[in-house]
Structure 1
Amino acid sequence: MWRCAVAGSPITHSLSPLIHTTAYRVLGIADAWDYGRHELDAAALPGFVAECGPEWVGLSCTAPLKSAVLALGVPSSRAALLNAGNTLIFARDGRPARVENTDVTGLLGALARAGVTQAERAVVVGNGATARSALAALAELGVTRVQVLARSQANAHASLGDLAGQLGIAVEHGPWGTTEAGEPADLALSTVSAPLPTAAAEALVARVPVCFDATYNHYPTVLDRAARAAGIVQLSGIDLLVGQALDQIRLFTGRDCPAEPLLEAAYAALP
Structure 2
Amino acid sequence: MPRFAANLSLLFTEVPLLDRFAAARAAGFAAVEMQFPYAETKEVLAARRAEADLPLVLHNLPAGDWAAGERGIAIFPERSAEFREGVARAIDYAGALGCRQINCLAGLAPPDAERARLRATLVENLAYAADALGRAGIRLLVEPINDRDMPGFFLNRLADAAAVIEAAESQNLFIQADLYHMARMGEDLVDSLTAHRARIAHVQIADAPGRHEPGTGGIDFAAAFATLDRLGYDGFIGCEYLPTANTEAGLGWMRSYP
TM-based fold match above 0.5 = no
TM bucket normalised to smaller: 0.3 to 0.5
Structure showing greater radius of gyration is: 1
Q: Which has the higher strand share?
A: 1
Higher relative contact order (CA 8 A, sep 6+): 2
TM-score, L = length of structure 2: 0.34
